Amino acid sequence: MSTLQGQMMDVQLLVSALLRHADYNHADTEIVSRRLEGDIHRYTYSEAAVRIRKMANALEAFGLKRGERAATLAWNGYRHFELYYAISGIGSVMHTINPRLHPEQVAWIVNHAEDRILFFDITFAPIVDAIADKCPTVQQWVAMIDPDKMPEMKNVTPVSYEDFIQAQSAAYEWPELDENAAAALCYTSGTTGNPKGVLYSHRSLVLHTYAACLPDAFGVDATDVVLPIVPMFHVNAWSLPYVGALAGVKLVFPGAKLDGESVCELFENEKVTISAGVPTVWLLVLQYLQQNNRKLSTVKRMTVGGSACPPALMKTFKNDYGVQLEHAWGMTEMSPLGTYNHPKAKHLQLSEDEQFQARLSQGRAVFGVEMKIVDDKGNRMPQDGQSTGDLHVRGPWVVDRYFKKDESPLVDGWFPTGDVGYIDPDGYLTITDRTKDVIKSGGEWIGSIDIENIAMAHPAVAMAACIAARHEKWDERPLLLVQIKEGQSVTKEDLLKHFEGKIAKWWTPDDVLFVDSLPLGATGKVQKNKLRDEYGDHLLKQPA
């Protein structure tokens, strides 16, 4: 039976449309960047658009074809922003690479993606030197720096970004591409095995950007000043470079200086209203603010995601600095946004403490993302706020297949996230763990996130990680690894006492080990697999 077709224009959803929108409607809104050259660079969306069109011409002159990949190893900055739009805009694929990965892994990714040209910030020149002769597909290396500041390199002769675009015309007509064409590529950080490529389409990026702007997500408007600390080299900085253009916000890029002082200086000087980053970043910013007795006068909200937001961190920012930390959850395979925590009207009637509690979960699904919790047989579990199982998702910006992989990761058309949690009747998701980090004690599951959050609420604790340690009787038991704040101290006994009444007794860690620092991965998360390798047998070695 034929259906009556709608009669609206079949205009394709394209990344270039976001730029054109900003160029026409927010021409004089600023984009500010801290540069490796040492200064602060500022220009407008319309000036950016001119350089992006020049870059589009330069890429075509170089011979980059539709569907071919162009890579970046770069900090957050205006040149990186330009590449986001130029590469995708001409129909090629913007491939961001995480420079915190080991050079071997970077080379593996470049080869897997068959990148034809690679743009890099000079901080990463040593990586480029190390991988150059292992990456035969790369025909051009471009240093994202002024020509007079070019690095000395051993194995490549890069061209300066400015020289690369200098002779090009600023006239360029963005092609009408198929919205399902590939636009961007990002590899998961792959704690085990090789990284997997997630290939975003123009359509998925534009739809995701619309959703990310919603009041119950980033909630930005044209009066906002947004500073993405989350890197443009991983999952498109949670889409903020696209959000900026759609909403016409002033963007502030921090470059390589991500220490508390430099970030807070930009917050104040540029009157930043909204920022976003992983919890470890906010812990550092907080330390700086506390140690230097500083305040934040313009920041209203900071999005926290990538790993669970410690409640103590959220409380301190709210009470001492008037900044609301907003919890969001997502992943590379979801572009990344899945859920975002904003209150509903009924929450506003609650006491302050109850409202704070409501803020702690990972939040509600953003429209476009469907979620379900399934048991080990794949049956949907009730959305009752306690039935805990594997989290599966689907939606137009969720991965269907990994780049160059034939087998589908999907189960019944849903993507298994590898996260474990529950959803309450209001739709709020709580992640209790990652499947591979769950502690299985005598057949029962213990979620490590709860234990870490309680530990981090202790005033002497800077960071904590709870891992499964092998146990003779119970198979696995929780072992807590703790990094103490500078100048503070606490005993194991006192720390364990701190758990009393906050958690079921059998969830209390069997032991606490104090460490100088916790190993962080390429996206700023504690590497629990490393900790398991090192400390997994700790309890077996204990006297019975």
Amino acid identity of residue 168, one-letter, is Q
- Give the bridge partners for 308, in sequence order: none
Minimum distance of ligand ADP from residue 525's CB (angstroms): 6
Minimum distance of ligand ADP from residue 377's CB (angstroms): 22
Minimum distance of ligand ADP from residue 341's CB (angstroms): 9
Letters for 126-165 (x = contact with ligand ADP by CB under 6 A, - = none) are ----------------------------------------
Neighbours of 338 (CB within 10 A): 30
Report whether the peptide linkage leading into residue 336 is cis, meaning its omega lies within 30 degrees of zero: yes
| CB of 181 or CB of 331, closer to ligand ADP | 331
The active-site residue, picked from 82, 270, 326, 333, is 333
Residue 448 interacting with ligand ADP (CB under 6 A): no
Minimum distance of ligand ADP from residue 146's CB (angstroms): 32
Q: Spell out the residues 6+ positions from residue 106 whose beta carbon is closer than 8 angstroms to its own.
A: 73, 97, 99, 127, 131
Please state, in angstroms and as integers, the Cα–Cα distance from residue 503 to each residue in 207, 381, 405, 441, 506, following that order. Answer: 41, 24, 43, 15, 8
CA distance 32 to 43: 7
- Give the bridge partners for 488, in sequence order: none
Residue 361 interacting with ligand ADP (CB under 6 A): no
Among 329, 340, 402, 415, interactor with ligand ADP by CB under 6 A: 329
Minimum distance of ligand ADP from residue 112's CB (angstroms): 16
CA distance 510 to 283: 27
Residue 359 interacting with ligand ADP (CB under 6 A): no
Residue 525 interacting with ligand ADP (CB under 6 A): yes
Residue 453 interacting with ligand ADP (CB under 6 A): no
Assess whether 435 carries a catalytic annotation.
Answer: no
Among 112, 327, 342, 392, interactor with ligand ADP by CB under 6 A: 327
69-73/117-120 β-pairing: parallel
Kindly indicate which of the ranges 120-128, 146-154, 351-359, 415-423 contains the residues binding ligand ADP, using the contact rule CB under 6 A: 415-423
CA distance 360 to 421: 14
The active-site residue, picked from 65, 149, 440, 502, is 440
Amino acid identity of residue 272, one-letter, is V
Phi, psi of 68 (to 5 degrees): -80, 155
Residue 509 interacting with ligand ADP (CB under 6 A): no
Residue 331 interacting with ligand ADP (CB under 6 A): yes
Assess whether 188 carries a catalytic annotation.
Answer: yes
CA distance 19 to 185: 19
- The burial of 46, by beta-carbon neighbours within 10 Å (0-12 exposed, 13-18 middle, 19 or more buried), is given as middle
Among 57, 307, 432, 508, interactor with ligand ADP by CB under 6 A: 307
Residue 414 interacting with ligand ADP (CB under 6 A): no
Residues 189-248 that bind ligand ADP (CB under 6 A): 189
Phi, psi of 357 (to 5 degrees): -60, -40
Among 55, 308, 374, 393, interactor with ligand ADP by CB under 6 A: 308
Count the site residues for ligand ADP by CB under 6 A.
21
Six-digit token pair at 103? 């050079």
Annotated active-site positions, please?
188, 333, 440, 445
